[in-house]
Amino acid sequence: MKKNLVTAVLMTIATTILLGIVYPLVVTGIARVLFPYKANGQLIRRDGKTVGSRIIGQAFTGPTYFHSRPSAAGNGYDAGNSGGTNLGPTNQKLIDRVRQDAASLQTENPGRPIPIDLVTTSASGLDPDISQAAAEFQVPRVARERGMSEDQVRKLVNKHTAGRQFGFLGEPRLNVMELNLDLDSEQSRF
């Protein structure tokens, strides 16, 4: 029995070191060498400063920017507190928030249907993308606030629209961070 106990303890220590320390370090090292951009969080830099990540959404609240999906992660887009609200469709708190968001969006484009991803959160609360419909809904506001034509803004939306993955998975989408940064760059040319 003592021999079995010693073997079990040594095996636990060996597998913990091998699978809990060595393996993660090796995999991380290989990823950083082969895929440095992806392994480091797909950070976006402008003028030597990190302005965000391509894979984590962030809030854009100004009227001159395209707005992201609402976030339920912590205080909004909190990568350390990722997750949805877990509120059911009959929960009054969720119903009130969606109604309030919808009413606010209706003032932006009266009478137009509101895309669902502008009033609902994603499961992680960190979704960096919006649908084409959500972007199209926001084009008139962004164009008006920036003094650009809707066609100029639509060209940027089309430029940043990514198709379905492998041609059939998911829906076309736009990365809000990249679109807004390109919008700033485009406007500075005028």
Q: What pTM was computed for the model?
A: 0.78
Residue-wise pLDDT for 130-152, tens only, equals 999 999 999 999 999 999 999 99
Share of the chain above pLDDT 90, in %: 51
Mean pLDDT of 180-187: 84
Task: Report the pLDDT value the prediction gives residue 187, as an integer from 0 to 100.
Answer: 66
Contact 63, 54 (CB under 8 A): no
Q: Residues 119-130: what's their mean pLDDT?
A: 86
Q: Given this model, what pLDDT does residue 188 score?
A: 62
The count of domains in the chain is 2
Are residues 128 and 99 both part of a single domain? Answer: yes
Measure the CA dihedral 126/109/104/119, to 10°: -30
**Mean pLDDT throughout 150-160?**
93
Query: CA-to-CA distance for 64 and 20, rounded, in angstroms?
Result: 47
What pLDDT was estimated at residue 66?
A: 94
Per-residue pLDDT at 154 = 94
Same domain, 132 and 88: yes
Both 73 and 158 in one domain: the answer is yes
Residue 146, both tokens: 């920036």
Residue 109 banded pLDDT, cuts 50, 70, 90: confident
pLDDT over 90 (residue 111): no
Residues 48 and 93 in one domain: yes
pLDDT in tens, 27-78: 999 999 999 888 888 888 888 888 888 888 888 888 999 999 888 877 777 7
Does 67 lie in the same domain as 86? yes
Same domain, 46 and 35: no
- What is the β-pairing status of strands 129-131 and 173-175? antiparallel
Report the C-alpha gap between 70 and 68 in whole angstroms: 6
pLDDT value of residue 30: 94
Tokens of 124: 């992680």
pLDDT at 189: 60
Tokens of 176: 């809000």
Are residue 81 and residue 170 in the same domain, yes or no?
yes
Say if residue 24 is in the same domain as residue 55: no
Q: Which domain holds residue 17?
A: 1-40
State whether 6 and 70 are in the same domain.
no
Q: pLDDT band at residue 17, thresholds of 50, 70 and 90?
A: very high
Return the closest-CA partner of residue 59 out of 123, 127, 113: 127
Same domain, 67 and 26: no
Instruction: Answer yes or no: do 8 and 50 share one domain.
Output: no
User: Do 71 and 134 fall within a single domain?
Assistant: yes
